[in-house]
Amino acid sequence: MTNSFYGPLADPAGDAGWVDGDHQPRKGFFTDTSVCIGCKACEVACKEWNAVPDDGMNWLGSSYDNSGALGASTWRHVKFIEQPKPLGAQQAGMEGTAAGVSVTDVLNRAADSALAGDRSTLGSTNRVDLGMPTTTLPGQVDGAQRTEFRWLMESDVCKHCTHAACLDVCPTGSLFRTEFGTVVVQDDICNGCGYCVPACPFGVIDRRVGEKGVTKNEGIAQKCTLCYDRIGDGLQPACATACPTQSIQYGDVDELRERAQKRVDALHAAGVHDARLYGENGHDGVGGLGAFFLLLDEPEVYGLPPDPVVTTRDLPEMWRKAALAAVAMLAGAVAVFGAGERR
């Protein structure tokens, strides 16, 4: 079946019509968050290579994350997640110290709402009611001690979905499926309509905000191209090249999936039982991701949807229903007016 919107699909590039000599093995990222050290070299290398402008000098107070989210001017985004939970057998060194109750959950929530524009809860280490059924506020309990802690880091990126809704809804053909099975915006074709923005189940793609005539590609939808202009020349994407710990690995998706499975098995054997792959399964709601992840906990911990579904999944059904409705209407009209004519 060609031009499918949903379900497992072995060969997105072929499905998009790439044939013979042009067609390449599917390329993607395997981002292994278990070895990410949060250096952000990926963010910088991406901007350097792709000439992405800076995204503003905003201190977010969100751990060491001042990029905030993926967007038109942030194509790689390193998340920093502080949590009062253990990471495998890691000893965070807080046990037996004079530390009191953790505040990270409070701060995480404050940071989340601040990112969404509400800064009212930021000075929240003193008094914030989470609405939880506790008798004391977090950080206010005497005698209690925090014992566990982990600091997770994850370099997030466009997922290059097997079924990419952004591409499906693009009216200009600016977004297209490359011969490597990746999804790329052509900024000289995009008209800035913005249909793709709500279509993405991960909130990746966005239109660039800036000054008209000054900011490059102002108003144009932008996101990771998986360095289309590098991989065609046999180079790795800029972020993968810059990553010092091989947290970002680039290659054939099939091979990467095998590698990722081995890494998960190794982590499980080492006692990191929550380690899991995210987006490697072709049976999920987006047909699997070209850029998939090894996470150390539930996807929600990283701000990723637990069960992403391509927003155009129901498009064929909708069109079918729309067609049916049209046929029915036509039939009705024929019945009404046709009969009348005969009269």
Partner 1 sequence: MAECHPVGFQWVMEAKARGAKVIHIDPRFTRTSAVADQHVPLRAGSDIAFLGGIINYILSNEKYFRDYVVSYTNAATLVSEDFQDVDELDGLFSGYDPETGTYDPSSWAYQGHDDGSDGQTGRPTAPTSTGDDQSGQDSGSEPEGSAGGATIDDVGGEESADSEKDRGAGHELGGRGANLAHSKVARDETLQHPQTVFQVLKRHYARYTPEVVEQICGVPPEQFLQVCEDVTSNSGRDRTTAWVYSVGWTHHSTGVQYIRGSAIIQLLLGNMGRPGGGIMALRGHASIQGSTDIPTLFNILPGYLPVPSAGKHDTYADYIATIAKPGMKGFWTKADAYTASLLKAWWGDAATPENDFCFDYLPKLTGDHGTYQTVFDMVDGKIDGYFLLGQNPAVGSAHGKLQRLGLAKLKWLVVRDLQMIESATFWKDGPEIESGELKTEEIGTEVFFFPAATHTEKEGTFTQTQRMLQWRYKAVEPPGDARSELHFYYHLGRLLRERYAGSTDPKDRPLLDLTWDYPTHGETQDPDGDAILREVNGYYLTGEKAGQFLPGFVEMKADGSTSGGCWIYCGVYKDGVNQAARKKPGRDQNFVAPEWGWAWPMNRRTLYNRASADPEGRPWSEKKAYVWWDEEAQQWTGHDVPDFQLTKPPSYRPEEGASGPDGIAGDDPFIMQADGKGWLYAPTGLLDGPLPAHYEPAESPVDNPLYTQQGNPTRQVFKRKDNLQNPSKDEPGGDVFPYVFTTYRLTEHHTAGGMSRWLPYLSELQPEMFCEVSPELARERGLEHFGYATIVTARTAIEARVLVTDRVVPLKVGGTVIHQIGLPYHWGVGDDAVVSGDSANDLLGLSLDPNVHIQESKVASCDIQPGRRPTGEALLRYVEDYRSRAGITVETGNLRMTAPSDDRLEGAQQ
> Distance between CA 221 and CA 226 in Å, rounded?
15
Is 301 an interacting residue with respect to partner 1 (CB under 8 A)? Answer: no
Provide, rounded to whole angstroms, the least separation between the CB of residue 157 and partner 1: 16
Near partner 1 by CB under 8 A: residue from 19, 57, 132, 214? 57
Tokens of 219: 């108003």
CB of 13 to partner 1, least distance (A): 32
CB of residue 77 to partner 1, shortest distance in Å: 11
Compute the half-sphere exposure of residue 124: CA atoms within 13 Å on the CB side of its CA. Answer: 25
Sign of the C-alpha dihedral computed for residues 238, 239, 245 and 247 taken in this order: negative
Site for partner 1 in 5-44 (CB under 8 A): 35, 37-41, 43-44
CB of 71 to partner 1, least distance (A): 12
> Distance between terminal CA atoms of the chain?
47
Rule CB under 8 A: say whether 171 interacts with partner 1. Answer: no
Strands 27-32 and 291-295: parallel
State which residue, 9 or 144, has the beta carbon closest to partner 1: 144
Using the rule CB under 8 A, give the single segment among 52-60, 183-191, 249-257, 307-315 that binds partner 1.
Answer: 52-60
77-136 binders of partner 1 (CB under 8 A) = 82, 84, 89-104, 107, 110, 114, 119, 122-126
Q: Which is nearer to partner 1, 122 or 315 (CB)?
A: 122
Geometric angle at alpha carbon 87, from 279 and 135, rounded to 5°: 105
Q: Is the Cα torsion angle 107, 108, 113, 116 positive or negative in sign?
A: positive
Instruction: Judge whether 9 is annotated as a binding position.
Output: no
Residues with Cβ within 8 Å of residue 234, at least 6 apart in sequence: none
146 carries a ligand binding annotation: no
Site size for partner 1, by CB under 8 A? Answer: 60
**Cα–Cα dist 239/76, whole Å:** 8
List Cα–Cα distances, 206 to 11, 219, 324, in angstroms: 26, 9, 34
Please select the residue that binds partner 1; options are 146, 259, 268, 276, rule is CB under 8 A: 146
Q: Which residues, 6 or more positions from 224, have their beta carbon under 8 angstroms from its beta carbon?
A: 46, 75, 76, 157, 158, 160, 204, 291
- Among residues 11, 22, 48, 255, the one that binds partner 1 under rule CB under 8 A: 48
Residue in the structure block whose two tokens are 């993926």: 70
Residue 44 annotated as binding site: no
- Distance set, CA 62 to CA 68, 79, 139, 258 (Å): 8, 9, 18, 34
Annotated binding-site residues for [4Fe-4S] cluster read 36, 39, 42, 46, 158, 161, 166, 170, 190, 193, 196, 200, 224, 227, 239, 243
Residues that bind partner 1 (CB under 8 A): 35, 37-41, 43-44, 47-48, 53-59, 61, 63-64, 66-67, 82, 84, 89-104, 107, 110, 114, 119, 122-126, 139-140, 146, 149-153, 244-246
Annotated binding-site residues read 36, 39, 42, 46, 158, 161, 166, 170, 190, 193, 196, 200, 224, 227, 239, 243
